[in-house]
Amino acid sequence: MKFILLIPAVLFSTLFYNKSLGLNVLLFALVVITLLFLRHQKKSKNKSILLKALLYLISSVFVFIHHNDLTLTATVISFFVFVGSFSNTKSSLFIQFLNGFYTTITAVIANYFERVEQEVVLVKEKNTNYAFWFKTVSISIVVLAIFMGLYSNSNPVFANLLQKIDLSFISFNWILFTAVAYYFIANIVLPVQIEPLTTSDANTTDFLIKIDKNTDERTLSDNAKLGFILFLVLNFLLVFVLVTDLIYLLQKKQLSAAALSNQLHQGVNALIVSIVLAIVLILFFFKGDLNFYKGNKHLKKSVFVWLVMNGFLAVVTAYKNYQYVHFFGLTYKRIGVFVYLILAIFGLILTFIKVKEVKNLWFLVRKNTQIAFSVLLIAAAINWDTFITKYNVFNAKEVDVTYLISLDNNKIVLDNVKKQLVLTPTQLEEISTNKAQYQSELREKVWQEYFLTNFINK
Amino acid sequence: MIFRIILTTIKSALLATFLFIALFNQITIYDIFIASVITFVITAVISFFMILFTLLPFKIIGDYFSYNNVQIFQVFFPYYAMVSFAICTWFIVISKDDNMVKSLFFAAFFTSIMAWYWLFKKTN
């Protein structure tokens, strides 16, 4: 096995040594998936692992289609999740991520300690006859070289073929790079898990368990009343904020960029504080016996109203962001606000479920990480630079051309739509130069660095 | 324990020196001896303090809870390794391809995890 792992290590070096990212990420994903499926044939039939493999493959396809930081982040995270799913198939997504990360960086060392703990005698290692293998490989190479020399002298076609083999890429640095690749590949085929975190996670359900602490009925009743009054007051306050916000929004007036930006940032800040406060308060009140107290109905209702109104606050903030985008176009920050609002709405829905169905904090963490991972993968599917360019050129009332020029993956698209824009001669020249430079960079790429554009433009 | 710390310091310094010189790869063959000696002395000092301040606390905490070396390793090492990897990768990324910084933090990561191995390997 140790020698077989040299093949993917050499492949890794061939794909990544002194290369930028592109097709190599996709090919490496295929190598990793094949290697792990061959190494763990029984586990590879597990549906959870198959799904993680598919997600890893899809995210690496995104790198090939439009490489940017987001697609790379999605690929790295899905790689760790995929590797970690072999450690324990029943673990939560974020535990699989941690296990995958841990496996990739140190599994070889961690395995040594696990075997010591299990009192497995390291006979296998001791039986590996390194001297024999060194002797065998050395003699084989020398004999092979002698015979190749002999045959090439007698056979010109064979000699010609040998001359075409180019091994000039092998350098000291390449060997070091391959050694590091070997280390990481040796790690990922030996899945390890973080203990006691993994076992604890696997043994924890999503539901709160009633612990008979014999809490006084009166204490529970007082806590329920306190919570109800607190959320009632907060609800009134939030109604007031929302009504004034709506009145302000319904006043149809053209706002300046600064005013829109200001009200949006205030809205987002208020929403962040409100949601964090809501979840902290809810977790505080619903952490124990109050969940099972029969007289908690009013408290639950006031919490549900509070959650719904926070959701409404998120919708109002989304509308403000939409207005901002409608007038001044999309930017990464404005997209970030939409992503945050989507995550916030999901967070509120999950908190609602947590309270209604008596779930625990672990449930919130598990589901929120799953949603964040899904949103990341969906976001990675979109070439945002191109999307922003097209949206701003065709929909925004005012276009910030300097911002569009500063983006990376839109050089060809921006050149194609430049007739729709009012541009200065300098900007026109910059767009043309950027496109030419981008095309030249594409042409200079070696096969490992290819993007989909390389194949389309051929 | 003191002997083990000294031994781990020497091993760590040797490994860090080898990795740094090999990866940095900008030292001529004539200067390699002097460069190795200087690097060894510097990395020995760094390794000693690294062991003292980042590994020994785990040993003390482990002893407090009556953990053996393997248990200390299993409970604390995963988080140490992940944090160490994250910090070193972060420095490598922000170094913007500076060969010296890359070599330094690459060597630092491998030395830090091997130091765990040497310090906590089967003594029980």
**DSSP H or E stretch at residue B60:** helix B56-64
Q: Is A234 on the interface with B (CB under 8 A)?
A: no
Residue B25 with chain A: CB contacts under 8 Å = 172-173
The nearest CA of chain A is from the CA of B73 a distance in Å of 8
Task: Report the distance separating Cα B49 and Cα B55, nearest Å.
Answer: 9
Q: Which residues of B touch A (CB under 8 A)?
A: 22-23, 25, 70-71, 73-75, 77-79, 81-82, 85, 113-114, 116-117, 120-122
Contact A106 B113 (CB under 8 A): yes
Specify the pLDDT at position B124: 46
Nearest CB partner across the interface for A101, out of B23, B70, B82: B82
Closest-approach residue (CA) in chain A for B80: A102
Q: Is A354 left (phi over 0), alpha (psi -120 to 50) or beta?
A: alpha
pLDDT digits (tens), chain A, 458 positions: 667 888 889 999 989 888 888 899 999 999 999 999 998 888 888 899 999 999 999 999 999 998 888 999 999 999 999 999 998 888 899 999 999 999 999 888 888 777 765 655 555 555 556 677 778 778 888 888 887 777 777 777 777 777 777 667 777 788 888 988 999 999 998 888 888 888 888 888 878 777 766 667 777 778 778 888 888 888 888 888 888 888 877 775 666 666 767 777 777 777 778 778 878 888 888 877 777 777 778 888 888 898 898 888 888 888 888 888 888 888 888 899 899 999 989 998 998 898 888 888 889 899 999 999 999 999 999 999 999 999 988 888 888 888 888 888 888 888 888 888 888 888 888 888 888 888 888 888 888 888 888 887 66
User: In Å, how far are A10, A14, A71 from A113, measured between CA atoms?
Assistant: 28, 33, 35
Mean per-residue pLDDT for B4-16?
86
Write the single-letter amino acid at B76: F
Contacts B79 to A, Cβ<8 Å: 194
Helix (H, G, I), strand (E, B) or coil at A119: coil
A340, A269 contact by CB (below 8 A): no
Chain B contact for A20, CB < 8 A? no
Q: CB-CB: which of A102, A105, A172 is closest to B25? A: A172
Pair B5, B116: CB distance under 8 Å: no
CB-nearest to A105 from B73, B81, B121 is B81
- Quick check: B85 and A105 CB within 8 A? yes
Cβ atoms within 10 Å of A226's Cβ, excluding its own: 12
pTM score over 0.80 = yes
Q: Facing residues of A207 across strands? A: A359
User: Any chain B CB within 8 A of the CB of A109?
Assistant: yes
> A156 — contact with chain B (CB < 8 Å)?
no
Q: Residue A158 in contact with residue A151, Cβ under 8 Å?
A: yes
A177/A181 Cα distance (integer angstroms): 6
CB–CB contact A196 B78 (8 Å): no
Within 8 A by CB and 6+ apart from A306, the residues are A231, A234, A235, A238, A278
**φ and ψ at residue A191, rounded to 5 degrees:** -60, 135
Q: Do B70 and A116 touch (CB under 8 A)?
A: yes
Question: In angstroms, rounded to a whole number, what is the distance separating the alpha carbons of residues A267 and B104?
Answer: 45
Residue of B nearest to A109 (CA): B117
Chain A, 408 to 437: residues with Cβ < 8 Å from chain B are: none
Count other C-beta atoms under 10 Å from residue A338's C-beta. Answer: 15
Q: Name the closest residue on chain A to residue B113, using Cα atoms.
A: A106
Chain B interface test: which of A69, A73, A87, A105 (most B C-beta within 10 Å) = A105
Residue in B closest to A193 by C-alpha = B78
By CA distance, what is B26's nearest residue in A?
Answer: A173
Residue numbers in B near A182 (CB within 8 A): none
- Please indicate whether, in this complex, the C-beta atoms of A112 and B121 are within 8 angstroms of each other: yes
Which residues of chain A are within 8 Å of residue B71 when distances are taken between CB atoms? 117
Q: Which residues in chain A have Cβ-Cβ distances shorter than 8 Å to B121?
A: 112-113
Question: Position A101: which residue type?
Answer: F
Which residues in chain A are contacts of B120 at CB distance < 8 A?
113
DSSP state of A168: T
Nearest partner of A291 among A350, A371, A210, A212, judged by Cα: A210
